[in-house]
Copies of this chain bind each other. A is one copy, B any other.
Amino acid sequence: MHFTSESSTDGVTQRHFTLDGVPGVLWQPDGLPLGGRPLVLLGHGGGQHKLGSVDRARRCVRERGFAAVALDAPGHGERPRSAQDERFATEIGELIAAGRPISAWVARHTAALAERAVPEWVAVLDALEEWAEGLGPVGYWGLSLGSVIGIPLAAAEPRVAAAVFGLAGHASQVEAAGRVGVPVEFLLQWDDELVPREGALALFGALGSREKTLHANAGGHLEVPELELESSERFLARHLGRVG
């Protein structure tokens, strides 16, 4: 893990890093150790990038005393696009222009991204754990593409203790969901134009977690109410505990 820059604003230290070519950002309280502190993994949505999570990350640090980390997903942010990524960007534009359904197409492409992204998150957790000489409880927060990646990550990675997912729901995600056992809050948009409602309900239903809660609101994919986003942060905070 190679730290490339460090800055501080209003009590929050922000460090950019790369690990095996994957660029990321780590946020933590100024002058306080990462070790033992609750850590929130922030997964971004499709077409977005690691710094799209900066407001949520800063709230985690300032309001909770947590640390937070975000990565650019494969083909996103500062990362080069593979030939596959380029093909996807071209073809999805053509599908949308033709008015054809895109959800199966998106699911197939994002499943391929997730296969690349999950080991990247595991490697970042390993590196941070070594650097900090031990991590506190880890939570995952990610909607849409952030859930397509986060669900198999939470299924595979025992360090993840609680998660916020949502705005996703394709049959290809169901098997991994069944292997998630930690508490989950799942956000669903009732009128989601990108994710079929039945698929999202089935994905929530498939989660193996004993403790799981679904919050569904009227509106489209990009219209999750601000109150729900705040609620989801409180959900994670309840499960990751207090810093004190």
Contact = CB atoms under 8 A, between A and B. Distances in A.
A214 interface: yes
Nearest to A211: B218
Interface string A174-212: 000000000000001010000000000100110001111
A216 B214 contact: yes
A205 B216 CA distance: 10
Interface residues on A, range: 10 to 19
A218 B225 contact: no
Interface in A208-238: 209-218, 225, 228, 231
**Majority secondary structure, A binding face:** mixed
A85 to B, nearest CB: 35
A218 B212 contact: yes
A190 B205 contact: yes
Contact of A213 (B201, B212, B215): B215
Contact of A190 (B190, B214, B218, B231): B214
Given A201-B201, A205-B190, A215 B218 contact: no
Given A210-B218, A212-B217, A216-B216, 4 more contacts: A209-B218, A214-B214, A214-B216, A215-B216
Interface of A: 188, 190, 201, 204-205, 209-218, 225, 228, 231
